[in-house]
Chain A
């Protein structure tokens, strides 16, 4: 099964909002409310930012929010800060044959 589709890069200025899309199929994103998002800084392990589509783990800023429409999930970051510059990956449960599928990743640049 192919990876979920994310834009290779997005950018925004400090204080702005950006949205990263994650497009799957009716077999993964479209069928389950089980999309998660991860932030990865260079040389570091990924960090969970959103789970089950829109839920934030304790300690994650409320500037991060998640949503879904059909086969596409989205991560929105509002009030961009320099520290948000990182790679972001989406991930979805994909059923009892494939189980887990990641997106290809999006590099966020804060201008």
Chain B
């Protein structure tokens, strides 16, 4: 059974960089069959896709966030990470990592982690 777990600071100051890591267990990021994704949900709002990465390092980003987002992969530790720079209060959200089947559907999700942007 594949499991994903987000980790990182729950509080980030405005203008700084939000950094999160997703640790994958029960399956290998390097299997090549999946894309590894970040999705966020603003409080009381809907889901917003941030981007995903293939084990080779190829990345695909939401055009609206592309200028501020970097997703990277660490196959040796079976982890992938999100960096979102120049954050504002509008980036306060629950951030989920998830496994995507090709460019298609998200079949396994982490439990989510709330990140608050505040001074």
Contacts and interface: CB of A to CB of B under 8 A. Distances in A.
Contacts of A72: none
Q: How large is the interface on A (under 10, 10 to 19, 20 to 34, 35 or more residues)?
A: 20 to 34
Interface string A64-98: 00000000000000000000000001010100011
Given A3-B46, A45-B111, A46-B109, A100 B103 contact: yes
Interface string B60-97: 10110000000000000000000000000000000010
A97 to B, nearest CB: 7
A47 B98 CA distance: 11
B62 A99 contact: yes
B58 to A, nearest CB: 12
A36 interface: yes
A1 B112 CA distance: 25
Nearest to B4: A45
A102 interface: yes
B46 A105 contact: yes
Interface of B: 45-49, 52, 60, 62-63, 96, 101, 103-107, 109-112
Given A38-B106, A89-B47, 5 more contacts: A34-B105, A36-B104, A46-B47, A48-B105, A105-B46
The 7 closest A-B pairs by CB, nearest first: A51-B105, A36-B105, A100-B49, A45-B109, A105-B46, A102-B47, A104-B46
